């Protein structure tokens, strides 16, 4: 993966200068492997803490999931307050939720401080497709408010759905003003610019072929090598290329998005009157939002192989038209896909291998949590590891089946959950 795949984001990306390949041997305090949100945030936070930092990216900055995702800023973790409290107790759940929910403020602070032009908008609506899902949302919000004093979220009953979205026949949902949406590739490029301004040296088209996690950490590429005190592994679905043991902890799910032609402002606002990002409560969810130029950006359907559909636009179109029948036959200008890294239990995986820190497995919540992960890694590197270690204590297990059976067994499980959407 060497360049930005054709997409709406690539077509509307802000100018960013190409960075050189690594040639030769260099030294640094920190070597970061991966130029997506996690790696860029870690590099920026480490540089601000006074470390000399080198970042190695196999392709171009933001060319993988960070530059292709739906752009939805969804607060919290994949596990909600109720599930966290039941599994870990209320005190631990409270700590996890407070840290996780700080990610939104951190992302907004980064955007403001570094003047990142990424079309940031406020609000996320989680739409309920079944009565039981709406009941779960009520319990979740009540627990979240009780544990953390959370503010800005509210339950939307069925009669109020029309103020959020004009489609989907949803039964209600949860609106969270702390969520939102943005142009993810421009956010990644903005983080990269801020990191470079802070002194980070970025090398593109420099895939890492091996990492020695000892003291020192040594990251080797085809034509160079970085020797550093600390390493950061930020490769998500490509983690097995630098640490095979970590590759067992996630599986890549192919996800696909389209962007329509620009709609009239009136027609666009009629689709999503709140202007919020919307995702629904299906296991194979639909998620959508309006772009700054009034396109509908819509994601729907999943494939469990890396081979894309022959026609991505026509693969996604039935999902779009089912939610918005008023857009039947709408022109689709851009269609693209990418891999989403998920863990077996959908909790992110943090930890250390020797002198290298890692974080991956965002399971659909990466647009916010990745920036937070970079902050937590920098804190731990400086010796204040309480927040990082709390996340590193989360139970994450490898997918079952070993190298040959891990993927087919996981697909069987996911197909079962997808079938439950239809029941």
Does the residue 306 lie in any domain?
no
Which pLDDT score, from 0 to 100, does residue 419 have? 41
Compute the distance between CA of residue 57 and CA of residue 204 in angstroms, rounded to an integer. Answer: 5
Cα(48)–Cα(181) distance, integer angstroms: 26
- pLDDT bin (cut points 50, 70, 90) of residue 402 is low
Q: What is the pTM of this model?
A: 0.94
Within-domain flag for 352? yes
Instruction: Say if 137 falls within a structural domain.
Output: no
Strand stretches in 61-172, DSSP E: 72-73, 121-127, 153-156
- Is residue 280 a contact partner of residue 168, using CB atoms and an 8 Å limit? yes
Q: What is the β-pairing status of strands 296-303 and 287-290?
A: antiparallel
What's 60's domain CATH number?
3.50.50.60
Among 74, 141, 119, 79, residue whose Cα is nearest residue 279: 74
Note whether residue 234 is domain-resident.
yes
Structure tokens at 228: 């550093």
Range of the domain at 383: 8-68+186-248+345-404
Average pLDDT over residues 56-76: 97
For residue 178, pLDDT over 90 is answered with yes
Give mean pLDDT, residues 260-273: 98
pLDDT per residue over 211-236, tens digit each? 999 999 999 999 999 999 999 999 99
What's the rounded Cα separation, in Å, for the pair 45 and 24? 26
Take residue 315 and report the two structure tokens written for it.
């693969």
Cβ atoms < 10 Å from Cβ of 265: 11
Tell me: the pLDDT tens digits for 120-169?
999 999 999 999 999 999 999 999 999 999 999 999 999 999 999 999 99
The pLDDT tens digits of the residues spanning 334-355 come to 999 988 899 999 999 999 999 9
What pLDDT band is residue 418 in, cutting at 50, 70 and 90? Answer: very low
Say how far residue 293 (Cα) sits from the centre of its chain. 23
| Any domain includes 226 | yes
End-to-end CA distance of the chain: 38
Report residue 306's pLDDT band, with 50, 70 and 90 as the boundaries.
low
Does some domain include residue 316? no
Report whether pLDDT(295) > 80: yes
> Has residue 304 got a pLDDT over 80?
no
User: Which pLDDT score is estimated for 423?
Assistant: 52
- Report the 3 state secondary structure along 74-106: CCCCCCCHHHHHHHHCHHHHHHHHHHHCCHHHH
Whether 56 is covered by a domain: the verdict is yes
Evaluate if residue 2 carries a pLDDT over 80.
no
Closest CA to 202 of 193, 212, 215: 193
Average pLDDT, the chain: 93
Contact, 29 vs 217, CB < 8 A?
A: no
Q: Is residue 20 part of a domain?
A: yes
**pLDDT at residue number 382:** 97
Backbone φ and ψ for 166, nearest 5 degrees, come out as -105, 65
Please report which confidence band the pLDDT of residue 113 belongs to, taking 50, 70 and 90 as the band edges. very high
Number of residues assigned to the chain? 423
| Average pLDDT over every residue of 268-285 | 95
Residue 403: pLDDT band (50, 70, 90) is low
Q: Using 50, 70 and 90 to split pLDDT, how confident is the model at 28?
A: very high
**Three-class SS of 259-325:** EECCCCHHHHHHHCCCCCEEEECCCCCCEEEECCCCCEEEEEEEECCCCCCCCHHHHHHHHHHHHCH
Determine the pLDDT at residue 252: 87
| Domains: count for the chain | 1
The CA distances from residue 25 to 22, 230, 335, in Å, are 8, 16, 40
Confidence check: pLDDT of 1 > 70: no
CA angle (346 as vertex; 340, 352 as ends), nearest 5 = 90
**pLDDT per residue as tens digits for the range 353-369:** 999 999 999 998 999 99
Query: Which string of DSSP letters, residue by residue, matches 211-271?
Result: EE-SSSEEEEESSEEEEEEEEEE--GGGGGGT-HHHHTTEEEEEEEEEEEPPPPHHHHHHH
């Amino acid at each position: 993966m060497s360049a930005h795949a054709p997409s709406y984001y690539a077509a509307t990306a802000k100018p960013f200068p190409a960075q050189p390949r690594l040639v030769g041997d260099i030294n640094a305090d920190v070597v970061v492997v991966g130029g997506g949100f996690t790696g860029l945030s870690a590099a920026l936070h480490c540089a601000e803490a006074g470390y000399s930092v080198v970042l190695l990216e196999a392709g171009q900055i933001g060319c993988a999931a960070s530059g292709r995702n739906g752009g939805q800023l969804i607060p919290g973790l994949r596990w909600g307050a109720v599930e966290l409290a039941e599994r870990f107790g209320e005190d631990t759940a409270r700590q996890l939720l407070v840290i996780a929910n700080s990610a939104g403020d951190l992302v907004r602070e980064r955007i403001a401080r570094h003047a990142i032009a990424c079309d940031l908008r406020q609000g996320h609506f989680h739409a309920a497709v079944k009565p039981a899902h709406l009941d779960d949302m009520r319990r979740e919000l009540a627990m979240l408010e009780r544990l953390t004093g959370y503010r800005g979220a509210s339950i939307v009953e069925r009669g109020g759905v029309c103020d959020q979205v004009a489609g989907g026949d949803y039964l209600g949902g949860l609106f969270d003003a702390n969520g939102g949406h943005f142009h993810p590739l421009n956010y990644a490029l903005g983080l990269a610019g801020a990191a470079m301004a802070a002194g980070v040296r970025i090398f593109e088209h420099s895939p890492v072929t091996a990492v020695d996690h000892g003291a020192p950490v040594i990251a080797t590429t085809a034509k160079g090598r970085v020797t550093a005190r600390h390493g950061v592994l930020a490769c998500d679905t490509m983690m097995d290329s630098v640490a095979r043991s970590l590759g067992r902890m996630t599986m890549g799910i192919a996800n696909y998005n389209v962007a329509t032609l620009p709609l009239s402002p009136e027609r666009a606002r009629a689709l999503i009157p709140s202007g919020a990002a919307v995702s629904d409560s299906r296991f194979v969810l639909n998620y959508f939002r309006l772009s700054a130029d009034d396109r509908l950006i819509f994601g729907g359907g999943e494939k469990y192989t890396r081979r894309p559909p022959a026609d991505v636009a026509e693969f996604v179109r039935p999902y779009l038209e089912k939610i918005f029948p008023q857009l039947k036959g709408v022109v689709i200008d851009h269609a693209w896909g990418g891999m989403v890294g998920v863990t077996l239990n959908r909790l992110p995986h943090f930890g250390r291998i020797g002198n290298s820190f890692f974080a991956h497995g965002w399971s659909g919540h990466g647009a916010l949590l990745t920036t937070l992960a970079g902050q937590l890694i920098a804190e731990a590197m400086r010796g204040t590891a309480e927040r990082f270690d709390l996340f590193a204590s989360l139970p994450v297990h490898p997918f079952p089946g070993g190298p040959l059976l891990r993927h087919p067994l996981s697909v069987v499980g996911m197909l079962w959950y997808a079938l439950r959407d239809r029941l």
